[in-house]
Amino acid sequence: MLTNEEVKTAADFFTREIGRLAGEQPIRLMEVCGTHTVAIFKAGIRQLLPKSVELVSGPGCPVCVTPNEYLDTAIAYSKNPQVIITTFGDMLKVPGSTSSLAAQKAEGGDIRILYSPLESLEIAVANPHKKVIFLAVGFETTAPLAAATVLMAEKAGIKNFYVLSAHKLVPPALRALLMAEDIHVDGFLLPGHVSAVIGMAPYEFVVDEFQTPAVVAGFEPLDILQSIYLLVKQINEKTPKLENQYGRVALPAGNVVACQTLYKVYQRADAEWRGIGKLAGSGLAIREQYGNFDARTSIPVTVEATQEHVGCRCGQVLRGTILPTACPLFGKSCLPEHPVGSCMVSVEGTCAAWYKYGAGRWQG
């Protein structure tokens, strides 16, 4: 581990080099991982960058890109007295069309917060007369664990465990962003954890087809500063390539076992992204073979008509076309304790991070 002095020395070096290489031309870099969004704020990285280098957040928070229809479905299930919902905590407060899981929990819905999907199986065994539905939300990082849970349920003969999948894949979202005419990105900070699972190959099109610099980045302040430095250097030298700053964790081939587990249970499917729309092959649906674990096909439910929140601009925030501070609701009617849009809910949501770490509020 580096000492505080060593960290500062390295940070000063990267900051100086970024300043030297960036020049006057505006450079727009996008991170597509909520953990990066938070880490950038936590470390106060923006203030260390020259004015010409702008960091924008993309659709990197899994809770945020989950559409209202999914939440409405989960909320509808939670009203069924035969159902126990299991979920990670940050789904709880996300507003659906007219309610939230937190509100349903307060009304008496049996909704339990997990730290691992495997806890769902214990709950299923302890409640044999209930149907336990796990809200499977997340990118390639969390999907293998959800898949492993299904496989364990099958092996253990647990028949009252179900998955409501909203899993999403990162590379199709990158392609959609690169193809969108209203979005301009000069370089991508790629998500280190996702890359640790899928490896480098799925990102090659970013450079090959779109000539856009891309760096797989770690999550420590110095990882991020170094990755920004690598991107700015590529831009300065006009040599776009795919680099791996996070090689100590993210191997070029990824995690083959995790991918095998993932695709044993799931297959690619079209998926709806909040703010981006329906993207071909960008989600994961449970394979027919494991269909008896799929909540959607196994447990009938009536879902209310989906409504979008008036005035909420989460969609544009998720595409990186506006900053959270440009949304008229930000910090006014949309606050972390009373979120209107999903981006204000999750700790990794762009709006929540901007608000929490003081953007627009802090003048220190």
Partner 1 sequence: MSHERIQMAHGNGGKLSHDLVKNIMWPAFSNDILGAMNDGAQFTINGARLAFSTDSYVVKPLFFPGGDIGKLAVCGTVNDVAMNGALPLYLSAGFVLEEGFPMDSLKRIVASMQQAAAEAGVYIVTGDTKVVEKGAVDGIYINTAGIGQIMDGVQIAGQNARPGQDIILNGYLGEHALAVMSERHGLEFPQTVVSDCAPLNGLVAELLTAVPQIAVLRDPTRGGLATTLNEIASQSQVGIMLDESSIPVSPAVQAACDILGFDPLYLANEGKMIIFVDKEYTKEVLSIMLCHTYGRESRVIGEVVSKPSPLGQVGLRTRIGGVRLLDMLVSDQLPRIC
CB of 313 to partner 1, least distance (A): 18
CB of 29 to partner 1, least distance (A): 17
Among 36, 93, 175, 319, binds partner 1 (CB under 8 A): 93
Query: What is each CA distance from 278 to 142, 272, 283, 316, 357, in whole angstroms?
Result: 21, 4, 10, 15, 32
Contact between 95 and partner 1 per CB under 8 A = yes
Measured from the CB atom, is 33 or 265 closer to partner 1? Answer: 33
Work out the angle between the directed axes of helices 256-265 and 143-156 (0-180°, nearest 10): 60
- DSSP, collapsed to helix, strand or coil, labels residue 43 as coil
Site for partner 1 in 118-137 (CB under 8 A): 119
Measured from the CB atom, is 293 or 355 closer to partner 1? Answer: 355
Tokens for 129, please give them.
């007369």
Looking at 89-97, 123-131, 153-161, 247-255, which segment touches partner 1 (CB under 8 A)? 89-97
Query: What is each CA distance from 232 to 10, 17, 320, in whole angstroms?
Result: 17, 9, 19
Among 125, 269, 303, 347, binds partner 1 (CB under 8 A): 347
User: By C-alpha distance, which of 123, 133, 147 is closest to 87?
Assistant: 133
Among 182, 300, 305, 363, binds partner 1 (CB under 8 A): 363
Contact between 105 and partner 1 per CB under 8 A = yes
Among 67, 199, 221, 331, binds partner 1 (CB under 8 A): 221
Looking at 133-141, 170-178, 228-236, 351-359, which segment touches partner 1 (CB under 8 A)? 351-359
Beta strands per DSSP E along the chain? 27-31, 53-57, 83-88, 111-114, 131-136, 161-165, 187-191, 214-217, 242-244, 266-273, 277-286
Contact between 89 and partner 1 per CB under 8 A = yes
Tokens 């972390």 belong to which residue? 336
Contact between 302 and partner 1 per CB under 8 A = no
Q: What is the number of alpha carbons within 13 Å of residue 127 lying toward its C-beta?
A: 20
Q: How far is CA 152 from the centre of its chain?
A: 25
How far is Cα 166 from Cα 135, in angstroms, rounded to an integer? Answer: 8
User: By C-alpha distance, which of 174, 273, 255 is closest to 214?
Assistant: 174
CB of 114 to partner 1, least distance (A): 8
Tokens for 53, please give them.
């280098």
Looking at 67-75, 85-93, 260-268, 323-331, which segment touches partner 1 (CB under 8 A)? 85-93
CB of 100 to partner 1, least distance (A): 7
CB of 333 to partner 1, least distance (A): 10
Contact between 332 and partner 1 per CB under 8 A = no
- DSSP, collapsed to helix, strand or coil, labels residue 118 as coil
Contact between 337 and partner 1 per CB under 8 A = yes
Site for partner 1 in 257-276 (CB under 8 A): none
Contact between 311 and partner 1 per CB under 8 A = no
- DSSP, collapsed to helix, strand or coil, labels residue 102 as helix
Site for partner 1 in 17-56 (CB under 8 A): 35, 41-48
How far is Cα 118 from Cα 126, in angstroms, rounded to an integer? Answer: 13
**Rama region for 118: left / alpha / beta (φ>0; ψ in -120 to 50; rest):** alpha
CB of 264 to partner 1, least distance (A): 26
CB of 142 to partner 1, least distance (A): 12
Site for partner 1 in 1-20 (CB under 8 A): 4, 7-8, 11-12, 15
Which positions touch partner 1 (CB under 8 A)? Answer: 4, 7-8, 11-12, 15, 35, 41-48, 89-90, 93, 95, 100, 102-103, 105-107, 115-116, 119, 221-222, 225, 336-340, 347, 355-358, 361-364
